[in-house]
Amino acid sequence: MTEVKRITIPYLYELKKKGEPISWLTTYDYPMAVLVEQAGIEMILVGDSASMVVYGNSSTLPITMDTLIGHCQAVRRGAPNAFVIGDMPFLSYQVSVEEAVRNAGRFMKEGNCDAIKLEGGTRIAETVRAIVNAGIPVVGHIGLTPQSSSMLGGFKVQGKDVETAVSLIEDAKALEKAGVFGILLECVPTKISSLIRKSNSTIIFGIGAGDDVDGQLLIIHDVLGLYQCFTPKFVKQYTNLASIIGEAVGKYRSEVKGHQFPLPEHSFTISPAELKKVEEYLAQKK
């Protein structure tokens, strides 16, 4: 049996050099992490999107460090060899550089992560540099940044005009200089993603950023058709587990109501002799 080796940053750079796209999925729990690693996915993001996908909030903002660290611990137990990235939640890195470094360290120390991700470009370069200087690998995230979506006018494609496209290119360069090993582009036109990739030495990942990048990210619930609130344009749904689960649960309910479950094969027995003793005991208690 081939030994599975833990994914590292040098290995990810080898894939980039060879032109082999890197697969990356957002996952939040142990059972799913087991399946994702078994499928050979190189990277797992424990995303602040859990706020919406797992907890039913309308945005990513409510989720806390403690909650995400718990998810990271579960994911690491399920995927001991994948490259696991903790997603810095809102206000975990914006208040001060010192607090950002401390919280990033918590993801590494308590969550057993391999790296952290945070949103923003030029405006957070100083924070990124401090985290990297603390020995913590960082993935930057620019384009559509959900934590600041209200400032962007909602969940909209970024970089569709000269001003915003140039801003994205400058953000990517600032992150590169600050020491990130990778940058995630979200909802960015393919041609702009390509320009960023050609002008940047880091690993460029995309989610809704076209195919001219080094790796692709999607949320596992979107891939499996489990999140029914909305499906972004950039998502490809590979199956529809929501309908499969709904059908199974409905069948279970129907069988319970119709006394078709449980059947004898789902039940346990007691010997007639032991049953008789129990009945005699109960009779004596009357």
The residue that leads in pLDDT, 232 or 144, is 144
Res 150 pLDDT > 60: no
For residue 96, what is the DSSP state? Answer: -
Domain-embedded: residue 4:
no
If asked whether residues 192 and 257 sit together in one domain, one would say: no
Question: Which pLDDT score is estimated for 155?
Answer: 66
> Do 30 and 118 sit in the same domain of this protein?
yes
**1 within domain boundaries:** no
Residue 14 and residue 127 in one domain? yes
Catalytic residue flag (residue 255): no
What is the chain's mean pLDDT, rounded? Answer: 95
Q: Is 61 exposed, middle or buried (0-12, 13-18, 19+ CB in 10 A)?
A: middle
Determine, yes or no, domain membership for 223: yes
In CATH, what number is assigned to the domain containing residue 87? 3.20.20.60
82 found inside a domain? yes
Average pLDDT over residues 127-143: 98
CB atoms within 10 A of CB 121: 23
- Radius of gyration in angstroms for the set of CA atoms belonging to the chain, rounded to a whole number: 24
- Helix spans in the chain (H): 9-18, 30-38, 50-53, 65-78, 97-109, 125-133, 162-178, 190-198, 220-223, 241-257, 272-285
Residues 248 and 152 in one domain: no
Q: Are both 276 and 207 inside the same structural domain?
A: no
The predicted-structure confidence for 5-52, as pLDDT tens digits, reads as follows 899 999 999 999 999 999 999 999 999 999 999 999 999 999 999 999
The answer on 146 and 192 residing in a single domain is yes
Q: How many domains does the chain have?
A: 2
pLDDT digits (tens, 9 = 90+) for 104-117: 999 999 999 999 99
H/E stretch holding 124 reads none
> For residue 3, is pLDDT > 70?
no
Asked if 116 and 93 sit in the same domain, the reply is: yes
pLDDT digits (tens, 9 = 90+) for 217-250: 999 999 999 988 878 889 999 999 999 999 999 9
Of 37, 42, 119, 186, catalytic: 186
Residue-number span of the structural domain to which 215 is assigned: 9-239
- pLDDT interval class at 59 (50, 70, 90): very high
- pTM (2 d.p.): 0.93
Side chain identity at residue 23, one-letter code: S
Residue 1 confidence (pLDDT): 40
- Do 184 and 254 belong together in one domain? no
Sequence-ordered list of residues with C-beta below 8 angstroms from that of 209, at least 6 positions apart, any chain: 143, 185, 186, 187, 188, 189, 190, 193, 234
Spatial CB neighbours of 250, under 8 Å, sequence gap ≥ 6: none
